[in-house]
Amino acid sequence: MEGERGRVCVTGGTGFVASWLIMKLLEQGYSVNTTVRPHPEHKRDVSFLTSLPGGSERLEIFYADLSEPSGFDVAIKGCIGVFHVASPTLDFGNGEPEEVGIQRATDGTIGILKACLNSKTVKRVVLTSSASAVVYNGSGVEMMDEAYWSDVHYIKASNLLLGPYFVSKTLTEKRAFEFAQEHGLDLVTLTPTYIHGPFICPHMPFSVRISLAMLLGDREQYGSLINAPMVHIDDVARAHIFLLEYPEAKGRYICSKDAITLEEMSEFLSAKYPEYSIPTLEYLKEVKRPLDPTTGYWFRIQVWD
Protein backbone atom coordinates (compact mmCIF):
# COMPACT_ATOMS: atom_id res chain seq x y z
CA MET A 1 0.00 0.00 0.00
CA GLU A 2 1.41 3.37 -1.02
CA GLY A 3 1.57 5.95 1.76
CA GLU A 4 -0.40 9.16 1.40
CA ARG A 5 2.81 11.23 1.54
CA GLY A 6 4.57 9.32 -1.24
CA ARG A 7 7.54 6.95 -1.26
CA VAL A 8 11.03 7.83 -0.05
CA CYS A 9 14.28 5.92 0.32
CA VAL A 10 16.45 5.83 3.46
CA THR A 11 19.90 4.30 3.04
CA GLY A 12 21.57 2.41 5.87
CA GLY A 13 18.30 1.42 7.53
CA THR A 14 19.77 -0.56 10.42
CA GLY A 15 21.75 2.40 11.77
CA PHE A 16 20.88 4.69 14.67
CA VAL A 17 19.71 7.74 12.73
CA ALA A 18 18.25 5.88 9.76
CA SER A 19 16.12 3.49 11.81
CA TRP A 20 14.69 6.32 13.92
CA LEU A 21 14.06 8.33 10.76
CA ILE A 22 12.22 5.38 9.21
CA MET A 23 10.00 5.16 12.28
CA LYS A 24 9.13 8.87 12.05
CA LEU A 25 8.49 8.70 8.30
CA LEU A 26 6.09 5.79 8.76
CA GLU A 27 4.32 7.70 11.55
CA GLN A 28 3.82 10.62 9.16
CA GLY A 29 2.29 8.49 6.41
CA TYR A 30 5.23 7.96 4.07
CA SER A 31 6.01 4.71 2.32
CA VAL A 32 9.66 3.86 2.84
CA ASN A 33 12.25 1.89 0.93
CA THR A 34 15.36 1.25 2.96
CA THR A 35 18.68 -0.41 2.21
CA VAL A 36 20.59 -2.80 4.43
CA ARG A 37 24.17 -3.90 3.90
CA PRO A 38 24.19 -7.66 3.29
CA HIS A 39 26.04 -9.79 5.82
CA PRO A 40 28.59 -12.17 4.26
CA GLU A 41 27.58 -15.11 6.46
CA HIS A 42 23.94 -14.80 7.44
CA LYS A 43 20.77 -12.82 6.86
CA ARG A 44 20.46 -9.72 9.02
CA ASP A 45 17.70 -9.52 11.60
CA VAL A 46 15.59 -6.55 10.54
CA SER A 47 12.55 -7.40 12.65
CA PHE A 48 13.03 -4.19 14.66
CA LEU A 49 12.21 -2.35 11.42
CA THR A 50 9.48 -4.57 9.99
CA SER A 51 7.66 -4.58 13.36
CA LEU A 52 7.37 -0.78 13.41
CA PRO A 53 3.80 0.58 13.17
CA GLY A 54 3.05 0.71 9.45
CA GLY A 55 6.13 -1.34 8.63
CA SER A 56 4.31 -4.41 7.34
CA GLU A 57 2.30 -2.30 4.88
CA ARG A 58 4.60 0.57 3.88
CA LEU A 59 8.20 -0.52 4.42
CA GLU A 60 10.30 -2.38 1.85
CA ILE A 61 13.83 -3.56 2.57
CA PHE A 62 16.52 -3.92 -0.07
CA TYR A 63 20.03 -5.30 0.30
CA ALA A 64 22.75 -3.05 -1.09
CA ASP A 65 26.34 -2.07 -0.30
CA LEU A 66 27.98 1.32 -0.86
CA SER A 67 30.96 -0.45 -2.40
CA GLU A 68 28.60 -1.29 -5.29
CA PRO A 69 26.39 1.82 -5.60
CA SER A 70 24.54 0.49 -8.64
CA GLY A 71 22.78 -1.87 -6.24
CA PHE A 72 20.78 1.08 -4.91
CA ASP A 73 19.02 1.74 -8.23
CA VAL A 74 16.08 -0.54 -7.51
CA ALA A 75 15.59 0.88 -3.98
CA ILE A 76 15.56 4.47 -5.24
CA LYS A 77 13.41 3.84 -8.31
CA GLY A 78 10.01 5.53 -7.98
CA CYS A 79 10.91 7.53 -4.86
CA ILE A 80 10.20 11.25 -4.56
CA GLY A 81 12.98 11.83 -2.06
CA VAL A 82 16.12 10.13 -0.78
CA PHE A 83 17.71 10.36 2.66
CA HIS A 84 21.30 9.24 2.24
CA VAL A 85 22.22 8.36 5.81
CA ALA A 86 24.47 5.33 5.26
CA SER A 87 28.24 5.52 5.65
CA PRO A 88 30.67 2.79 4.63
CA THR A 89 32.62 0.95 7.28
CA LEU A 90 36.07 2.56 7.46
CA ASP A 91 38.69 -0.03 8.37
CA PHE A 92 41.70 2.20 9.03
CA GLY A 93 42.65 0.36 12.20
CA ASN A 94 43.20 -2.89 10.32
CA GLY A 95 45.65 -1.65 7.74
CA GLU A 96 43.43 -0.16 5.05
CA PRO A 97 45.10 2.97 3.62
CA GLU A 98 43.20 6.11 4.58
CA GLU A 99 42.99 7.24 0.96
CA VAL A 100 41.30 3.98 -0.04
CA GLY A 101 38.65 4.18 2.67
CA ILE A 102 37.95 7.85 2.02
CA GLN A 103 37.64 7.18 -1.71
CA ARG A 104 35.11 4.42 -0.99
CA ALA A 105 33.05 6.84 1.06
CA THR A 106 32.98 9.56 -1.58
CA ASP A 107 32.45 7.15 -4.48
CA GLY A 108 29.57 5.49 -2.65
CA THR A 109 27.81 8.80 -2.12
CA ILE A 110 28.30 9.87 -5.73
CA GLY A 111 26.88 6.51 -6.79
CA ILE A 112 23.76 7.21 -4.73
CA LEU A 113 23.39 10.64 -6.33
CA LYS A 114 23.72 9.10 -9.79
CA ALA A 115 20.96 6.64 -8.94
CA CYS A 116 18.78 9.59 -7.87
CA LEU A 117 19.36 11.28 -11.22
CA ASN A 118 18.64 8.09 -13.13
CA SER A 119 15.36 7.54 -11.30
CA LYS A 120 13.75 10.62 -12.92
CA THR A 121 11.40 10.77 -9.90
CA VAL A 122 13.62 11.99 -7.04
CA LYS A 123 12.92 15.66 -6.34
CA ARG A 124 15.40 16.19 -3.49
CA VAL A 125 18.22 14.40 -1.70
CA VAL A 126 18.97 14.99 1.98
CA LEU A 127 22.52 13.90 2.83
CA THR A 128 23.46 13.20 6.43
CA SER A 129 26.88 14.69 7.04
CA SER A 130 28.41 15.56 10.42
CA ALA A 131 29.47 18.56 12.45
CA SER A 132 32.96 17.11 12.07
CA ALA A 133 32.80 18.52 8.53
CA VAL A 134 32.37 22.00 10.04
CA VAL A 135 34.46 22.53 13.15
CA TYR A 136 37.99 21.22 12.54
CA ASN A 137 39.53 24.18 10.74
CA GLY A 138 41.92 25.83 13.19
CA SER A 139 40.09 29.14 12.82
CA GLY A 140 40.05 29.78 16.56
CA VAL A 141 36.57 31.29 16.44
CA GLU A 142 34.10 30.44 19.19
CA MET A 143 30.96 30.56 17.07
CA MET A 144 30.53 28.85 13.71
CA ASP A 145 27.76 28.53 11.18
CA GLU A 146 27.23 26.62 7.94
CA ALA A 147 29.77 28.77 6.10
CA TYR A 148 32.59 27.04 8.00
CA TRP A 149 34.21 23.89 6.67
CA SER A 150 36.71 21.58 8.30
CA ASP A 151 40.18 21.82 6.77
CA VAL A 152 41.60 18.50 5.62
CA HIS A 153 45.21 19.61 5.98
CA TYR A 154 44.54 20.89 9.50
CA ILE A 155 42.91 17.60 10.49
CA LYS A 156 45.82 15.53 9.20
CA ALA A 157 48.43 17.79 10.81
CA SER A 158 46.61 17.66 14.16
CA ASN A 159 46.72 13.85 14.31
CA LEU A 160 43.15 13.68 15.62
CA LEU A 161 41.93 10.40 17.05
CA LEU A 162 39.13 10.08 14.47
CA GLY A 163 40.88 12.21 11.86
CA PRO A 164 40.28 9.88 8.88
CA TYR A 165 36.56 9.85 9.66
CA PHE A 166 36.49 13.67 9.83
CA VAL A 167 38.34 13.89 6.51
CA SER A 168 35.92 11.40 4.95
CA LYS A 169 32.85 13.35 6.07
CA THR A 170 34.31 16.66 4.88
CA LEU A 171 35.40 15.49 1.44
CA THR A 172 32.23 13.46 0.87
CA GLU A 173 29.97 16.43 1.59
CA LYS A 174 32.04 18.76 -0.59
CA ARG A 175 32.13 16.34 -3.49
CA ALA A 176 28.39 15.73 -3.19
CA PHE A 177 27.69 19.45 -3.53
CA GLU A 178 30.01 19.68 -6.54
CA PHE A 179 28.24 16.77 -8.24
CA ALA A 180 24.78 18.13 -7.45
CA GLN A 181 25.61 21.56 -8.83
CA GLU A 182 27.15 20.10 -11.98
CA HIS A 183 24.14 17.88 -12.69
CA GLY A 184 21.29 20.06 -11.44
CA LEU A 185 20.36 17.81 -8.53
CA ASP A 186 18.53 19.33 -5.55
CA LEU A 187 20.76 18.43 -2.60
CA VAL A 188 20.53 19.58 1.02
CA THR A 189 22.87 18.40 3.78
CA LEU A 190 22.42 18.09 7.53
CA THR A 191 25.40 18.25 9.90
CA PRO A 192 24.35 17.01 13.35
CA THR A 193 26.51 17.18 16.47
CA TYR A 194 26.65 14.42 19.13
CA ILE A 195 23.31 12.64 18.82
CA HIS A 196 21.78 11.30 22.01
CA GLY A 197 18.48 9.74 22.99
CA PRO A 198 16.71 6.39 22.67
CA PHE A 199 17.39 3.97 19.86
CA ILE A 200 15.67 1.01 18.21
CA CYS A 201 18.69 -0.45 16.42
CA PRO A 202 20.17 -3.60 18.04
CA HIS A 203 23.43 -2.08 19.33
CA MET A 204 24.13 1.04 21.38
CA PRO A 205 25.24 3.80 18.98
CA PHE A 206 28.70 5.29 19.51
CA SER A 207 27.43 8.82 20.14
CA VAL A 208 24.92 7.53 22.71
CA ARG A 209 27.68 5.61 24.46
CA ILE A 210 29.71 8.81 24.67
CA SER A 211 26.78 10.78 26.10
CA LEU A 212 26.27 8.05 28.74
CA ALA A 213 29.97 7.73 29.57
CA MET A 214 29.55 8.95 33.15
CA LEU A 215 26.74 6.46 33.81
CA LEU A 216 28.66 3.62 32.17
CA GLY A 217 31.92 4.47 33.91
CA ASP A 218 33.71 4.80 30.57
CA ARG A 219 36.49 7.14 31.68
CA GLU A 220 38.22 7.10 28.30
CA GLN A 221 35.27 9.02 26.85
CA TYR A 222 35.00 11.74 29.51
CA GLY A 223 37.28 14.00 27.49
CA SER A 224 34.91 13.83 24.52
CA LEU A 225 32.26 15.51 26.67
CA ILE A 226 34.18 18.75 27.24
CA ASN A 227 31.83 21.48 25.96
CA ALA A 228 30.09 18.85 23.85
CA PRO A 229 27.34 20.16 21.56
CA MET A 230 24.44 17.71 21.55
CA VAL A 231 21.14 17.12 19.80
CA HIS A 232 18.32 14.66 20.44
CA ILE A 233 17.61 11.93 17.90
CA ASP A 234 14.00 13.14 17.56
CA ASP A 235 15.23 16.57 16.48
CA VAL A 236 17.62 15.02 13.98
CA ALA A 237 14.87 12.90 12.42
CA ARG A 238 12.45 15.83 12.25
CA ALA A 239 15.16 18.01 10.69
CA HIS A 240 15.69 15.44 7.93
CA ILE A 241 12.00 15.36 7.12
CA PHE A 242 11.70 19.16 7.27
CA LEU A 243 14.57 19.57 4.81
CA LEU A 244 12.86 17.21 2.39
CA GLU A 245 9.50 18.97 2.63
CA TYR A 246 10.45 22.65 2.91
CA PRO A 247 10.94 23.94 -0.65
CA GLU A 248 13.08 26.95 0.34
CA ALA A 249 15.76 24.85 2.07
CA LYS A 250 19.11 25.16 0.30
CA GLY A 251 22.70 24.20 1.06
CA ARG A 252 23.77 22.81 4.42
CA TYR A 253 22.24 22.99 7.89
CA ILE A 254 23.81 22.44 11.30
CA CYS A 255 21.59 20.43 13.64
CA SER A 256 22.48 21.11 17.27
CA LYS A 257 20.67 22.01 20.48
CA ASP A 258 22.78 22.45 23.61
CA ALA A 259 26.44 22.51 24.50
CA ILE A 260 27.07 21.07 27.94
CA THR A 261 30.18 21.10 30.09
CA LEU A 262 31.53 18.15 32.04
CA GLU A 263 30.63 19.90 35.27
CA GLU A 264 27.05 20.55 34.18
CA MET A 265 26.61 16.96 33.06
CA SER A 266 28.01 15.63 36.33
CA GLU A 267 25.65 17.80 38.38
CA PHE A 268 22.65 16.86 36.24
CA LEU A 269 23.32 13.12 36.30
CA SER A 270 24.08 13.11 40.02
CA ALA A 271 20.71 14.71 40.75
CA LYS A 272 18.81 12.59 38.23
CA TYR A 273 20.41 9.23 38.99
CA PRO A 274 21.69 9.26 42.60
CA GLU A 275 22.03 5.46 42.53
CA TYR A 276 24.97 5.75 40.09
CA SER A 277 28.53 6.66 41.02
CA ILE A 278 28.95 9.80 38.94
CA PRO A 279 32.51 11.24 38.86
CA THR A 280 33.00 14.19 41.16
CA LEU A 281 33.71 17.73 40.01
CA GLU A 282 37.15 17.47 41.59
CA TYR A 283 37.99 14.39 39.54
CA LEU A 284 36.72 15.98 36.33
CA LYS A 285 39.15 18.88 36.70
CA GLU A 286 41.88 16.51 35.54
CA VAL A 287 40.06 15.36 32.40
CA LYS A 288 41.57 16.49 29.12
CA ARG A 289 40.19 16.32 25.61
CA PRO A 290 41.91 13.31 23.95
CA LEU A 291 44.12 14.12 20.98
CA ASP A 292 41.90 16.98 19.96
CA PRO A 293 43.00 20.63 19.87
CA THR A 294 39.46 21.97 19.66
CA THR A 295 38.69 23.59 23.01
CA GLY A 296 34.99 24.14 22.51
CA TYR A 297 32.75 26.04 20.16
CA TRP A 298 29.20 27.27 19.69
CA PHE A 299 26.99 27.25 16.63
CA ARG A 300 25.12 30.24 15.28
CA ILE A 301 21.58 28.92 15.03
CA GLN A 302 18.88 29.95 12.59
CA VAL A 303 15.33 28.90 13.41
CA TRP A 304 12.74 28.07 10.75
CA ASP A 305 9.05 28.61 11.35
pLDDT of residue 293: 46
DSSP per-residue codes, 134-181:
TS-S----SEE-TT----HHHHHHHT-TTHHHHHHHHHHHHHHHHHHH
Q: Which residues contact 286 (CB under 8 A, 6 or more apart)?
A: none
Burial (CB count <10 Å: 0-12, 13-18, 19+), residue 99: exposed
For 221-249, what is each residue's pLDDT tens digit?
A: 888 888 889 999 999 999 999 999 999 99
Domains and CATH numbers, the chain: 7-197+230-256 (3.40.50.720)
Average pLDDT over residues 61-90: 92
CB atoms near residue 69 (< 10 Å): 18
For 17-42, what is each residue's pLDDT tens digit?
A: 999 999 999 999 999 999 999 876 66
Q: Please answer whether residues 9 and 76 qualify as being in contact, where contact means their C-beta atoms are separated by less than 8 angstroms.
A: yes
Q: Alpha-carbon distance 254 to 119, whole Å?
A: 28
CA Rg value for the chain? 19
Residue 258 carries which side chain, given as an amino acid letter? D
Could you tell me if residue 95 is left (phi over 0), alpha (psi between -120 and 50 degrees) or otherwise beta? Answer: left
Q: Alpha-carbon distance 76 to 32, whole Å?
A: 10
Could you tell me what percent of the chain has a pLDDT over 70? 90
Burial (CB count <10 Å: 0-12, 13-18, 19+), residue 286: exposed
For 257-295, what is each residue's pLDDT tens digit?
A: 888 888 898 999 999 999 999 998 888 888 866 544 444
Report if pTM > 0.75.
yes
